[in-house]
């Protein structure tokens, strides 16, 4: 075999090996501590040697948290990329509850991963688990694999180059993602951060650079979006977000479809404005209509994510 053939085979073997490394994989962790941040938020810090392989991507890194069954057990799903297919194939009684969250912080040296949970009583498995979580409790977190040589995904924060006037808005479910993004911003941008939360005591301290204004909007019993929508309208004026003629906007049935529109970052065009909006799907739909149809903002300058739908639970 020639040296050229040897190199070709080695390259083919390396490519095949890389293709077999999953971008996301399960990490087997345990609770290190919990911190009650406010009436509606609790921070759970996970630990475990497995975190050595967790990719530190920052921003709005999405993860899946697999919770124990009622008896405290976990049905084995393997450590490969097909973990979700295995979960779907299980009888319902053996399916561990799965919910989507955002990494609030990752500290590799001490092997610590922070995840902020929104509490709303015992009506959902995740809220119930987070309320009573204690050091030593086991959990499985499906997250980005540092061994993967390509992009791992699970992030939607992608402003175009040159975006210097930013709008970040969402409800309590988007607070961890927006907080992580806001704290990562440079001092060269102007940003308005609007966070609608259940009550005034849910306003959390954020370490943001100059030029980033944070407004907490406590509902105190008001409907979801009742404060956020007018605050976004006002922020558009303050950020001088220019708009042209309203573009076509197809309807999205948020009771039947997922509202999730994230434009690819482009290096040309635009006026330096970028908006990132997430939360309850009905409210996000209203914000989508406000920005695109009412304000005439180009759709390449806005990201919309319906994290959840009122009256419906996440199906894994």
pLDDT bin (cut points 50, 70, 90) of residue 6 is: very low
What is the per-residue pLDDT across 202-230, written as a single tens digit (0 to 9) for each?
Answer: 999 999 999 999 999 999 999 999 999 99
Tell me, rounded to whole angstroms, the distance of Cα 166 from its chain centroid: 18
Torsion angle, alpha carbons of 274, 263, 305, 158, to 10: -60
pLDDT for res 243: 64
Tell me, rounded to whole angstroms, the distance of Cα 143 from its chain centroid: 12
- Which carries the bigger pLDDT value, residue 282 or residue 245? 282
Integer Cα distance of 201 and 195 in angstroms: 13
Torsion angle, alpha carbons of 49, 73, 120, 99, to 10: 60
pLDDT for res 14: 38
pLDDT bin (cut points 50, 70, 90) of residue 314 is: low
Integer Cα distance of 240 and 251 in angstroms: 27
117-121: long-range contacts, CB 8 A cutoff, minimum separation 24: 117/41, 117/42, 117/43, 117/44, 118/40, 118/41, 118/172, 118/173, 118/175, 119/39, 119/40, 119/41, 119/42, 120/40
Q: Are strands 98-107 and 260-261 parallel, antiparallel or unpaired?
A: unpaired
CA distances from 244 to 196, 291, 298 (A): 28, 11, 8
273 phi/psi in degrees, rounded to 5? -100, 140
Q: What DSSP state is assigned to residue 127?
A: H
Tell me, rounded to whole angstroms, the distance of Cα 165 from its chain centroid: 21
Task: Report the residue count for the chain.
Answer: 316
pLDDT bin (cut points 50, 70, 90) of residue 134 is: very high
Contact of 114 with 180, CB cutoff 8 Å: no
- Which carries the bigger pLDDT value, residue 158 or residue 200? 200
Query: In the chain, what percentage of residues exceed pLDDT 90?
Result: 73
What is the per-residue pLDDT across 76-131, written as a single tens digit (0 to 9) for each?
Answer: 999 888 999 999 999 999 999 999 999 999 999 999 999 999 998 888 899 999 99
Contact of 65 with 28, CB cutoff 8 Å: no
Query: In the chain, what percentage of residues exceed pLDDT 70?
Result: 89
What is the per-residue pLDDT across 302-313, written as a single tens digit (0 to 9) for each?
Answer: 999 999 998 766
Average pLDDT value for the chain? 89
Integer Cα distance of 128 and 124 in angstroms: 6
pLDDT of 167 above 70: yes
pLDDT of 16 above 50: no
Give alpha helix (H) positions in the chain.
3-20, 83-89, 125-132, 175-184, 228-238, 281-289
pLDDT for res 192: 97
Domains of the chain with bracketed CATH: 22-144 (2.40.30.10), 165-308 (3.40.50.80)
Integer Cα distance of 8 and 42 in angstroms: 53
Integer Cα distance of 259 and 248 in angstroms: 16
Torsion angle, alpha carbons of 23, 25, 30, 34, to 10: 40
Give the other-Cβ count within 10 Å of 258's Cβ: 12
pLDDT for res 20: 80
220: helix, coil or strand? coil
């Amino acid at each position: 075999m020639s040296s050229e053939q040897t190199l070709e085979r080695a390259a083919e073997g390396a490519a095949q090996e890389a293709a077999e490394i999953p971008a996301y994989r399960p990490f087997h962790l345990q609770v290190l501590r919990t911190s009650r941040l406010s009436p509606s938020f609790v921070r759970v810090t996970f630990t475990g040697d497995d975190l050595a392989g967790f990719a530190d991507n920052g921003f709005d890194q999405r993860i899946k948290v697999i919770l124990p069954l009622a008896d405290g057990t976990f049905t084995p799903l393997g450590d490969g990329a097909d973990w979700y297919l295995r979960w779907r194939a299980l009888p319902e009684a053996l399916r561990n509850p799965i919910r989507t969250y955002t990494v609030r912080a990752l500290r590799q040296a001490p092997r610590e991963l922070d995840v902020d949970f929104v509490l709303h009583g015992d009506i959902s498995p995740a809220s119930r688990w987070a309320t009573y979580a204690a050091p030593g409790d086991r959990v499985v977190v499906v997250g980005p694999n540092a061994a993967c040589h390509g992009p791992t995904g699970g992030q939607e924060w992608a402003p175009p180059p040159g975006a210097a006037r930013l709008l970040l808005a969402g409800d309590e479910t988007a607070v961890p993602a927006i907080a992580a993004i806001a704290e990562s911003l440079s001092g060269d941008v102007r940003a308005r951060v609007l966070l609608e939360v259940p009550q005034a005591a849910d306003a959390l301290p954020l370490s943001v650079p100059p030029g980033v204004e944070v407004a907490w909007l406590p509902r105190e019993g008001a409907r979801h979006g009742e404060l956020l929508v007018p605050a976004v309208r006002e922020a558009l004026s303050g950020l001088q977000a220019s708009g042209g003629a309203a573009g076509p906007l197809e309807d999205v049935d948020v009771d039947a479809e997922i509202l999730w529109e994230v434009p690819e970052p482009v290096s040309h065009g635009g006026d330096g404005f970028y908006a990132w909006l997430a939360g309850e799907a009905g409210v996000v739909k209203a914000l989508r209509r406000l920005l695109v149809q009412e304000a005439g903002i180009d759709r390449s300058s806005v990201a919309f994510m319906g994290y959840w739908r009122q009256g419906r639970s996440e199906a894994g």
